[in-house]
Amino acid sequence: MASQFPRNQRFSFAAFLLLFQLFTVNLITTDAQIGVCYGMMGNNLPSANEVINLYRSNNIRRMRLYDPNQAALQALRNSGIELILGVPNSDLQGLATNADTARQWVQRNVLNFWPSVKIKYIAVGNEVSPVGGSSWYAQYVLPAVQNVYQAVRAQGLHDQIKVSTAIDMTLIGNSYPPSQGSFRGDVRSYLDPIIGYLLYASAPLLVNVYPYFSYSGNPRDISLPYALFTSPNVVVRDGQYGYQNLFDAMLDSVHAAIDNTRIGYVEVVVSESGWPSDGGFGATYDNARVYLDNLVRRAGRGSPRRPSKPTETYIFAMFDENQKSPEIEKHFGLFKPSKEKKYPFGFGAQRDAKIVVDEFNATYPLKSDM
C-alpha cells in the first residue's frame, strides 16, 4: 500500500516514532530506579498513612526507612513500594551477639509483613566507621549482617531480600582520578570482610553519595556546575572515561575502590543523595532544585565505569525534619511537613517533559514517568 506521506515526511515520522520509543523506555527505566528516604526526625510530620499516600500519589515507588517503624510498615502493606529496611546502629550489638535476637528481629519486622510489604534490602547499620565517632559499633556490623542474613536465609528469602550495610564516602581514601579510587588503609580490615560477605551473598554495597559536601568543602577546586550536573562538557578525563558531573566521579571511585580490593564484583546502590536548600554554603533553593531534578533524570543510566545497568538511587529526604542537627540537616526535604512540594518537578505522570525533533521544527509535549 502506498504511503500517504511524501518520502521525506515518512522518514521524519519514523524518526519521531523511534525517538518517542527511546524516550518512553528511558523514562520508565528512570522511574523504576529512584527512591526517597523517609526520615522521621520532626515533630510536625504527617502520619505514616499520609506519607505512604504521598509516595503513591507522586509515583515514588521505592523508600528507605531507617528503623522498623511499625506504623510505617503497616501503612506500606499492599502499596507496591519497594523498601530498604534499616537496622539502627543502636541495635547492632544485640543482633551481632545473639542469633536468636536476629531471628526474632527478622520475624517481627520482616516475616510479619512479607510479602505484602516489598522489602528489597535490609540495611544493617548506617555510616558506621572503625575510626571516628561511630567506631564502637564497627565490631558488630559484620556479625549482625551475618546473623540477619542467616535468619532471612532460613526462610528461603535470601534471593528476594538482600542484607547489606550503608557506608559513607569518608571510607574512601583516594577518589581522584576515579579509576584510582581506594578505601582508606585504616578501614580495610573492617570493610574487606564485609565486601567478601556481599560477594558471597550476591548483595550490593549501599553507599551514601553527596556531591554537595564535596563541593561545599572545596569550592576552589570543584565548580558548582560540575556538582549540579550542569557542566556542558567533560570536566575530568580519566583514561577511557570522561566525567561531566561529580556524582558519577564519586560513584565510580567507589566502584574502583571495590574493584581494587580484588575481592570480586559487588554492585553499588546509592542509598542517599541530596542537596540542602538552606543552612550552609551553596545550600540554596535553586541549587537544590537543579541538583535534585538532574539526579532524578540521571537515575535512568549507569556510570561511565559501569554503564550497562542504571544506578538505583535514593534521594535524601522526603521531608524537612526540624529535629535534626546541625541546621543544614533540617533542609534536605523534597516536601514540607504540610505535604506541599518544595520543588516543581515530579516523579510520575504529572511530570511534563518535552522532546524536540529538529526535522519537524516542532515541540511535542510528553508525559514523563521520571
**Active-site amino acid positions:** 127, 272
Cell readout for 29 is 527505566
Distance of CA 43 to the CA centre of its chain: 25
**Whether 201 contacts 160, CB under 8 Å:** no
Q: Note the residue count of the chain.
A: 370
